[in-house]
Amino acid sequence: MNYDFKDLAKHLGVSVGTISRVLAGRGDAARISKATQERIQTAAEKMGVQPNELARSLRTKKTRTIGLLVPDIANPFFASIAHYVEQRARSAGYSVLITESQELVEKEGEAGRLLFNRRVDGLIVAPVGDESSHLEELRLKGLPIVQVDRVFQSLQITAVVTDNFNAARQAVRHLIERGHRQIACLQGKAGGSVNQERVRGYLAALAEAGVPFKEKWLIGGSHSLESGHFEVTKMLNQKSRPTALLAISNMLALGTLKAARDLNLQIPTDLALVSFDDHPWTVLLSPSLTTMAQSVEDIGTLAFNELLAAIQATKPPSVKTIVLPAHLIVRESS
Amino acid sequence: MNYDFKDLAKHLGVSVGTISRVLAGRGDAARISKATQERIQTAAEKMGVQPNELARSLRTKKTRTIGLLVPDIANPFFASIAHYVEQRARSAGYSVLITESQELVEKEGEAGRLLFNRRVDGLIVAPVGDESSHLEELRLKGLPIVQVDRVFQSLQITAVVTDNFNAARQAVRHLIERGHRQIACLQGKAGGSVNQERVRGYLAALAEAGVPFKEKWLIGGSHSLESGHFEVTKMLNQKSRPTALLAISNMLALGTLKAARDLNLQIPTDLALVSFDDHPWTVLLSPSLTTMAQSVEDIGTLAFNELLAAIQATKPPSVKTIVLPAHLIVRESS
DNA sequence: GTGAAAGCGCTAACAT
DNA sequence: ATGTTAGCGCTTTCAC
């Protein structure tokens, strides 16, 4: 049971080198005779001999494995990205080691180090927090990295991101066109690039329309549904309420829906809502959500493509930031 | 940059053996003097020496990596399981290689083989289709495996599953208690254990209540939203309609919602709906869904625990099937 | 208390 | 057209 190249070599009376060449598909290149190739292939099949990828990796210094480091794989946004990354990876012959940072910088650092020690060929990361030294360290050790979603501009690391500034700006413009002037913004964890850009877009749209910004209407501080629920409830319980809200992520939109439902407020009548991300159920919510859809497929696919290019490059490729547009989908909530 | 044990050994004038013992945390057990341990630890830190897990794995024949093989990681049900598996795995010092079978038996076999060749210590799989020889093969090669969600009873492989028969039975009973006698069932891919059991539960509940089963009301054949949409639309366009429907998975429920919306039918007035799985947005859908909730946390956690036990066992542990109850959450749709 | 050496299962450079 | 050999970077047995 479970034979290796050596067993097969002994069995056929050839050297392990020959086995290696043939089973690695380099038989022709190494000018192994058709006959031996045939013999080896059939015997390998019959004995169930398959290469130990571990040994192969140790020798070749290539694992054909990449790491994917996201805050939470149960979050549909990251799950979708993982899906597309996995698809592209697989079709390019790569496997994916997935790890969650759980929104914690320390976990992210730890996980990154482990992934490096496992010698992944590259890393796709949706960074959390505002500390990036651990990523810089990995980059300096020669690990190809691509950032997705969130990004550190300070880093010399390629990124694939949505144009969050313009996405938020467009979302708020839409609300303004609908006649709203009292527009709140429910943000996630402050500090992250996504959050920053979206808030910036929110402010820009207000300014452009001459709508004054009220500090008390910039609420929130975490990306969880519960946080959104809590913060929106608090805000809607005040005497002076906004007539519209920009929720900066999918989970925050769900929290908002819950809060409105609890308080018996109608969306969009009492509060118009625009959110981010589109999922199969977004259209089936009550009310269906107006949203700025990011193309998770593009993000995942392009991220892997960029990573693969970096892995295969002989010299460090130029650092780019790929910015993808989001598009507005108007539904009942606004 | 990027020093290994040998460099460190040379630098400190000790042998690599000693470095290995200390950095693997076996310093005390190997009775290395406190002084040397200290010296090695500090130097390792300073030089950034960390073990190459690849080499370590090759030598110890343990990768501290498990494979997770699911049909589609973007499906919230599997994404949640992945989340809990990852959490437990990480806290036990394991990494997770994730692979999608895309509902294809061949891909599943291929992926399983690759995972084995990468020498994962164990595998958690949500099997697809009705062919299980590839899993049997892996088991015979000595790979510890745990099945989740779907299961092959014929295999001598531990499984963690929901009590699908009773879950469906309870769901249909609920509909019957609500006064329905014309109850349809929207199934997924026939043949899978999940589907079979749920359909069996549906039939049992009908029989127990003396409600005759109509073949034309057992519809469907794939787990996708689109399939659900299509099949339900077709059924609702007939002259004789059911008054209630059991949708056998989350995506099928969404498809049903879409169909009802398109046809301008009210749920639950025109059609009552009970579905499976509970997610943050399930309660926020229009209407909110009555559902049989499976405990994804238990499934993920128990699956990993069982796998870990099998990995650590010296002799093959007994094969068990862990059956978890689902619980009914009544909401607006029924 | 620590060093030396063999070897995990492959690949690749060098022979022939 | 194929064999031989020296590692890849660790762990572990056996010495001393």
pLDDT in tens, B75-96: 999 999 999 999 999 999 999 9
Q: pLDDT band at residue B311, thresholds of 50, 70 and 90?
A: very high
Binding-face residues of A in 210-229 toward B, CB within 8 A: 225
Residues of chain B found within 8 Å of residue A225, distances taken between Cβ atoms: 280
Please tell me whether any atom of strand D lies within 7 Å of the Cβ of A286.
no
**Cβ-nearest to B285 among A99, A251, A284:** A284
Tokens of A319: 């650092």
Which residues of chain A, if any, have pLDDT below 50?
none
**Helices (H), ranges, chain B:** 5-12, 16-23, 34-47, 53-60, 76-91, 105-117, 133-140, 164-177, 193-208, 225-236, 250-262, 296-312
Contact B122, B144 (CB under 8 A): yes
Closest CA to A93 of A319, A322, A312, A320: A312
Chain B partners within 8 Å of A141 (Cβ): 1-2, 48
Contact list, B287 vs chain A (CB under 8 Å): 286
The Cα–Cα gap between A112 and B118 comes to: 20
Q: How far apart are CA B180 and CA B25, in angstroms?
A: 65
Cβ distance B50 to A97 less than 8 Å, yes or no, reads no
pLDDT of residue A327: 96
Structure tokens at B53: 């897990």
Task: Name the percent of chain B lying above pLDDT 70.
Answer: 100
Report the pLDDT value the prediction gives residue A73, as an integer from 0 to 100. 97
A87 touches chain B (CB under 8 A): yes
What pLDDT score does B192 carry?
Answer: 82
For residue B79, the model assigns a pLDDT of: 97
Instruction: Output the pTM of the full model.
Output: 0.93
User: B155 pLDDT band (50/70/90 cuts)?
Assistant: confident
Q: Identify nearest nucleotide to residue A8 by CA to C1′ distance.
A: C9
In angstroms, the CA A206 to CA A214 distance is 10
How many CA within 13 A on the CB side of residue B79? 22
Residue B97 touches partner A, C-beta closer than 8 Å: yes
Using CB atoms, which residue from A58, A79, A83 is nearest to B55? A58
B1 → chain A, closest CA residue? A141
Type and span of the H or E element at A192:
none
DSSP letter for each residue of B245-278: EEESSHHHHHHHHHHHHHTT--TTTT-EEEEE--
Tell me, in Å, how far CA of A142 is from C1' of C16?
39
Query: CB of B209 within 8 Å of any CB in chain A?
Result: no
Q: Taking 90 as the threshold, does the pLDDT of residue B136 lie above it?
A: yes
Structure tokens at B10: 């040379």
Report the residue of B23, B60, B63, B83 to disrupt the A interface, i.e. the one with the largest count of A CBs within 10 Å.
B83
pLDDT reported for residue B265: 94
Query: Which amino acid does the sequence have at B304?
Result: F
Q: Please indicate if any CB of chain A lies within 8 Å of the CB of B24.
A: no
Measured CA to CA, the distance from residue A217 to residue A215 in angstroms comes to 5
- Measured from Cα to the C1' atom, the residue closest to D11 is B59
When comparing pLDDT for B155 and A123, which is higher?
A: A123
**CB nearest to B284's CB, from A50, A57, A254:** A254
CA distance B240 to B115: 50
The answer to whether A275 touches A253, Cβ cutoff 8 Å, is yes
What pLDDT score was predicted for residue A277? Answer: 94
Cα–Cα distance for residue pair A56/A62, rounded to 1 Å: 8
Could you tell me which of B1, B334, B280 has the C-alpha nearest to residue A252? B280
Decide if pLDDT at B137 tops 80: yes
For the stretch B260-310, pLDDT in tens is 999 999 999 999 999 999 998 899 888 899 999 999 999 999 999 999 999
Task: Outline where B93-185 has alpha helix (H).
Answer: 105-117, 133-140, 164-177
Q: Which residues of A touch B285 (CB under 8 A)?
A: 281, 284-286
Q: Which nucleotides of D are covered by protein (CB under 7 A)?
A: 1-5, 7-13
Q: Which of B126, B130, B136 is nearest to B102 (CA)?
A: B126
Which residue from A minimizes the CA distance to B289? A285
From chain A, the residues in CB contact with B82 under 8 A are 73-74, 79, 98
Statement: the CB of B16 is under 7 Å from strand C: yes
Q: Say if A286 is an interface residue toward chain B (CB within 8 Å).
A: yes
Give the closest of A2, A73, A281 to B83, CB-based.
Answer: A73
CA–C1' B69–D16 (A): 51
- The CA dihedral of B319, B323, B324, B329, to the nearest 10 degrees, is 160
Contact B97 A100 (CB under 8 A): no
Size of interface A-B (CB pairs under 8 A): 150
Note whether B280 contacts A251, CB cutoff 8 Å: yes
> How close does chain B come to A148, measured CA to CA in Å?
17
